[in-house]
Structure 1
Amino acid sequence: MSIGRSNLTFIITVDGLPRWVMRRPPLGHSGGSAHNVAREGRIMAALGESTVPVPHIVDIVDDPEVLDVPFVFMDHCPGFAINEPADWARIPTGPGPDDKRACAFGMIDTLAAIHRVDVDEVGLGDLRRPGGLIERQLRRWLGQVEDIALRDIPIIREVHDALLETIPDPARSPVGIAHGDYKPNNMIFAPEGTVNAVVDWELTAIGEVLTDLGYFIAMLTVPEQYTSIWVPTPELGFPTSDELIDRYQEVSGHEVHDVGYYEAFAMWKLACIREGVYTRLLTGKMGDLDLDPETAGVGVEDLARQALTILEKA
């Protein structure tokens, strides 16, 4: 099973070798699009017809006689995710850090490819929702926290209100497929560092695509203990935030603006997600994940404060 905090991922082996992957909702899940694996599978299946690298979907099963929850069955994609320094070290450097920089810029190029997808052409146009993505997600994530939280965290509402008051004009942002959780450990890399597949599409929506860029940049600064990943730094051959933003603007053709706002929004969203993790840990609904609930709980307020700091500087 994966170290993920949401949908559960299982690798099925044949003769000791990985052959297929199964994704199912977390234990105790009672609904909502965030853990809708059938929706996630449909998105990956649709993108299989585009230039975006995704795993091959074998089947999307929603049959209680097979399993009590829907699940997605897909071919195993060879390669590795970047979860720790040892993973980053697997990418060759040659005489300098150029290959690692190429790997990082490849992540940005893949993000731009996602944002270029014509949602109607791939059959995902019905995922559009009224209003801007930020406004919808502010409402959604605050509602989810208030619905499930076992404690009161006023700063979650404080940051929500500050973000709501300063939403960038949606008309300035290009609209398309926003992955929603775009970071190095949600990609599978070939040995040379190219992106073999983008995974974990459960938070995907149609809306302002610059939310993805802000999220990716935010993941470079979020405290490591508050995420499930380790992120490489410029000292280890990773480009700076400014270089990544410049690369995105170059390959996407989109004018980049308000990155600080989108970064702050990403931090706040991470705080909301972490509160869900904390609640599921307390109620025993995170499978066999070995994580202390109180450690997870502390991160919620810290992330929300960091979001507020970023927003004040934006």
Structure 2
Amino acid sequence: MSAAESGARELPGLDLDRLTPWFIEHVAPIEGPLDAELIAGGKSNLTYRLTDGSSRWILRRPPVGKLLATAHDMGREFTMMSALAPTDVPVPQMHAICDDTDLLGARFYVMEAVDGTPYRKASDLEKLGPERTRTISERLVDTLAALHRVDPAQVGLGEFGRPEGFLARQVARWRKQFDAAHTRDLPEMERLHALLADRVPADAAPGIVHGDYRLDNVLVDDDDQARAVLDWELSTIGDSLTDLALMCVYHRLGEAGGAVTDVSVAPGFLSEDEVIARYSAETGRDLSDFGFYLAFGCFKLAGIVEGIHFRYVNGQTVGEGFADAGQAVGPLLAAGLNALKEN
């Protein structure tokens, strides 16, 4: 299929005729015209599968329209995955990043297309059986622990973030994200923010933070191995325990019938207590005051969803599944307030 024919389909933020010369120069020669398809499922950055009829690649770029400050940083994703390439953390090979925003209207990068499945639904895991499901959930935890054992300075990420005062800044940052995505009043957000700001734990040893770690952000192969951790747009250096907490928040939402992912209810999937115990054994992290981390995870996830709601209200989303996203914000904020009561 020619680039012109591809352009007849909806390829928001992707002009194949403009992309092709840059691609040949910076990524690889091609054997035929580039074709592309938008990979469904994402509610944030746009992910395209590219092919020349012989080889495949992945292109990532921000969503179209006005973006929230600090969000959708292509350089962040590219830098993080490039740095992790020589470690035990599975990531795709990075090919090239384009800083010329005139080409496609925003920065973008191209990476390896990795074969694997991002399991989002319990029904998909149920087909595999409880034994394989348990193995997949164990490796999900082990991969997170491997990430958090990486010394940022040893992989060139020593200056990537500011770990001092990380949690306090994160609480403030996500409050600003709520303000930037304001379409409605959220009194529970105000209350949760105030309580979190008053209860920030002391700084922990700096670690790599993925920022949105869950099973459907990991590609799993047919041997139930984690092949690639994806979606690093929120990654930084800071208190990596925030990753475990957010994963547990997704776990709880799944059990409560949450729409993001319900893999935690699949037979064989590790319970929350088993997830925490396995992670603790692998990392030796102090899990006292984990209630704060759970509450912050709810606050952050509510901020992400409110950003999606903001883009939907302003007509800036691409694809289906956005209309009801905003309904999850209230329950997330309530769950955060409840989590603060836990140790």
Matches within 5 A, 1:174-185: 174-185=205-216
The 3 A distance-change label for structure 1 pair 98 and 153 is same
Show the counterpart of 2:296: 265
Secondary structure of the corresponding residue to residue 59 of structure 1: strand
Aligned length: 304
Show the counterpart of 1:241: 272
2:332 to 299, 303, 313: 303
Mapped partners of 1:18, 1:270: distance in 2: 36
The 3 A distance-change label for structure 1 pair 80 and 39 is same
Contact 2:45 2:72 (8 Å CA) reproduced = yes
1:3 to 41, 44, 48: 41
> How far 1:65 moved relative to its partner?
4.6
Matches within 5 A, 1:84-95: 84-91=121-128, 93=129
Matches within 5 A, 1:36-55: 36-55=73-92
Mapped partners of 1:35, 1:299: distance in 2: 22
Mapped partners of 1:168, 1:203: distance in 2: 21
The 3 A distance-change label for structure 1 pair 241 and 225 is closer
Show the counterpart of 2:59: 22
Show the counterpart of 2:3: none
> How far 1:256 moved relative to its partner?
2.7
The 3 A distance-change label for structure 1 pair 80 and 153 is same
The code of the aligned residue for 2:341 comes to: E
Matches within 5 A, 1:140-289: 140-170=173-203, 173-222=204-253, 227-233=259-265, 236-289=267-320
Contact 2:211 2:236 (8 Å CA) reproduced = yes
The 3 A distance-change label for structure 1 pair 290 and 108 is closer
Q: Greater RCO between the two (CA within 8 Å, min separation 6)?
A: 1
Question: For each residue in 1:170-194, what CA deviation from the matched residue of structure 2 results, as whole angstroms up to 9, or x when unmatched?
Answer: 2xx3320011100011000011211
Secondary structure of the corresponding residue to residue 27 of structure 1: coil
Among the aligned pairs, what percent are the same residue? 36
Show the counterpart of 2:5: none
Whether 2:111 is the aligned partner of 1:111: answer: no
Secondary structure of the corresponding residue to residue 219 of structure 1: helix
Runs of 4+ more than 4 Å apart: 223-227
Contact 1:174 1:210 (8 Å CA) reproduced = no
Contact 1:180 1:204 (8 Å CA) reproduced = yes
Mapped partners of 2:100, 2:124: distance in 1: 37
Question: For each residue in 1:56-98, what CA deviation from the matched residue of structure 2 results, as whole angstroms up to 9, or x when unmatched?
Answer: 111111123532211010110001001123431354x4xxx33
Mapped partners of 2:102, 2:241: distance in 1: 42
Whether 2:97 is the aligned partner of 1:60: answer: yes
Mapped partners of 1:58, 1:225: distance in 2: 39
Mapped partners of 1:267, 1:202: distance in 2: 18
1:133 to 152, 166, 178: 166
Greater Rg by CA: 2
Gaps of 5+ in 2: 1-37
Show the counterpart of 2:51: 13
> How far 1:31 moved relative to its partner?
5.8
Show the counterpart of 2:322: 291
Gaps of 5+ in 1: none
RMSD: 2.0
Whether 2:73 is the aligned partner of 1:33: answer: no
> How far 1:306 moved relative to its partner?
1.1
The 3 A distance-change label for structure 1 pair 257 and 24 is same
Mapped partners of 1:160, 1:26: distance in 2: 27
Secondary structure of the corresponding residue to residue 10 of structure 1: strand
